[in-house]
Structure 1
Amino acid sequence: MRLLVDVSVLLLCFVSLVRAVTIESCPLANGNIILTKAEETITLTCVTDHGIDPSDQNELQWYRNSAQVDLNESNRLYQSSLCVQPITKEDNGVIFTCQLKGDASVNSSVELDVQFAPDLNDTEELIVEKQSDVVLSCETRANPAVTMVWRKDGEVLDLTTGGYTTTSDGITSKLSMRNVKREVHQGTYMCEITSSVFGIRSNTFKITVEDKTLQFPQGPIIAGVVVVASTIILAIISRFDKILKWCKRN
């Protein structure tokens, strides 16, 4: 019986020595994920359990991914708070970790799930020459992922005709046109994205195709001007005495 009592006392002592930190957040986390949107604000509060001795060794530290966050001295013991504002799309996937300075194994983390849409809502007017190449670009990076279509004059663009090609790297979508023709390529183009969270957004491009202008070969013209000017200067120098005598007589 005495042995059982001693074991119980040892277990109670062990439990009292267990240390932990927890993170409270606004908005509330789902597990360790905080769902938020760009331009919003989140607050994080790291709280220690009552068994932690408030010494310098047990002060709290915050990390944003692997970079330590600079804290005021008054914001390190018992509990420590962070305010992140405004949230940006670059914060998506960032992990905030709170830990004890004296024991990094005592820690807690949360990850930001930042929802954002592509930055679209512009209108651009382009004047291009016949037989030139044109590339239109639209941002498509978003969370959650979006669907995108290219339109011409309000209709979904038929990519099988007109020499159109599209590329996308998950961040930017591009529409390329080679050997532009007025009857084929002139018009109003739109990149239209659809988001389950933010709805429909788009960029508009108004393309006007003009006749190709005749361009003079600037290099040969400049070279010719230099040759003529040099010839005139040399001629003046070679006849300088005659010119001077003529000037004196007159």
Structure 2
Amino acid sequence: MKLSLKNQPFLLLLPCIYCTDVIIKSSPSANEGVIQTEVEKTVTLSCVVEGSPEKEELQWYRNDRLVSLKEENSLQQSHLCVEQISTNDNGAVFTCQLKTNSTTKASILLEVYYAPDLNGSEEVRVAEGSDIALSCDVRAYPPVSVVWKKEDALLDLSSNSYHTSNNGITAQLSISNIKHYVHEGLYTCETSSSVYGKNSKTFSIIVEDKVMKFPLGPMIAGLVVVFLTILLALVSRRKKIMKCFKRTVLH
């Protein structure tokens, strides 16, 4: 099919002479808009305006919060230095945009790799018949899997006395109605990951005999009442006692 422009309005296609764009460069380098780094490392970000005949003012945002910049660090190019990367920086999005046109922007995402902070051991003393909860900090990126063990063997969770939970931040083992012969021993919270291997924390549970608790406060109050009652009785009978004493002396 042949297209004819005869008797058609004149169409003029113009190339984009001034196409303003914003580009972010980083160290370490980003891969498809994502920077992978580790805790306590440093990330530098550089934002450059391209294709504008005039000097443009730039703005940086961390997630939805505006980053304060010095004036000399905001015209045509701008630099950010994120030092001492922490776990709180994981998932943070840094966006550079034109102040006069927020649609002209570029963004970069931080992925902070860190292992779960699990180590050492803890001794836990608990009275027989009571309940207890053991907790482990399992925060990590990438996330890790968690298992509970007793005496180095996987814990049998079919028992109604054991309940586990894990919200990606804290893994918890709850034990109810603790008994000497069932629950005393060494428990382990163990995480595993293809990146960090295995990490663990141990809890040594010692079950003590149940101590009968006496209501000390009411008991003391009762003794005080009895003492005052006896004292008042003695005072009220003082005259009779004295007369009886005098008669005994006369005889």
For residues 205-227 of structure 1, what are the alpha-carbon distances to aligned partners after superposition, in whole Å with 9 as ceiling and x for unaligned?
A: 11111111222122421321442
Q: Where does the alignment leave 5 or more consecutive residues of structure 1 unmatched?
A: 1-6, 240-250
Residue 107 of structure 2 aligns with an amino acid whose one-letter code is S
Paired residue secondary structure (1:183): helix
CA separation of 1:27 and 1:229: change in aligned 2, threshold 3 A? farther
CA distance in 1, matches of 2:234, 2:53: 98
Alignment-derived partner of residue 243 in structure 2: none
Q: TM-score, with normalisation over the residues of structure 1?
A: 0.82
Residue 49 of structure 1 aligns with an amino acid whose one-letter code is E
1:224 pairs with 2:222: yes
The range that moved more, 98-107 or 110-119, is 110-119
For residues 31-90 of structure 1, what are the alpha-carbon distances to aligned partners after superposition, in whole Å with 9 as ceiling and x for unaligned?
A: 111112222221111111153412xxx211100011000111221112111111222222
For residues 95-138 of structure 1, what are the alpha-carbon distances to aligned partners after superposition, in whole Å with 9 as ceiling and x for unaligned?
A: 10001111111111011122222221131111111111111111
Alignment-derived partner of residue 86 in structure 2: 88
Alignment-derived partner of residue 201 in structure 2: 203
For residues 148-203 of structure 1, what are the alpha-carbon distances to aligned partners after superposition, in whole Å with 9 as ceiling and x for unaligned?
A: 11111111112224721212223222111111111111111110001221221111
Aligned partner of 2:96 among 86, 95, 98: 98
CA distance in 2, matches of 1:196, 1:154: 21
Tell me the matched-pair count: 227
Over alpha carbons, which structure has the higher Rg? Answer: 2
CA distance in 1, matches of 2:165, 2:207: 23
Q: Is the 8 A contact 1:149 1:156 kept in 2?
A: yes
Query: 1:167-186 residue pairs with structure 2 within 5 A?
Result: 167-186=165-184
Q: Is the 8 A contact 2:143 2:168 kept in 1?
A: no
Residue 118 of structure 2 aligns with an amino acid whose one-letter code is L
Q: Is the 8 A contact 1:138 1:172 kept in 2?
A: yes
Alignment-derived partner of residue 3 in structure 1: none
Residue 106 of structure 1 aligns with an amino acid whose one-letter code is T
CA distance in 1, matches of 2:202, 2:235: 63
CA separation of 1:101 and 1:236: change in aligned 2, threshold 3 A? farther
CA distance in 2, matches of 1:205, 1:52: 67
| Aligned CA-pair RMSD | 2.4
Residue 31 of structure 1 aligns with an amino acid whose one-letter code is E
Alignment-derived partner of residue 39 in structure 1: 40
CA separation of 1:49 and 1:233: change in aligned 2, threshold 3 A? farther
Paired residue secondary structure (2:202): strand
Residue 157 of structure 2 aligns with an amino acid whose one-letter code is L
Paired residue secondary structure (1:142): coil
CA distance in 2, matches of 1:125, 1:52: 69
Alignment-derived partner of residue 163 in structure 2: 165
Alignment-derived partner of residue 149 in structure 1: 147
CA distance in 1, matches of 2:233, 2:47: 89
Query: 1:98-117 residue pairs with structure 2 within 5 A?
Result: 98-117=96-115
Alignment-derived partner of residue 18 in structure 1: 19
Runs of 4+, deviation exceeding 4 Å: 228-239
CA distance in 1, matches of 2:38, 2:231: 72
Residue 39 of structure 1 aligns with an amino acid whose one-letter code is E
Q: Is the 8 A contact 2:19 2:51 kept in 1?
A: no
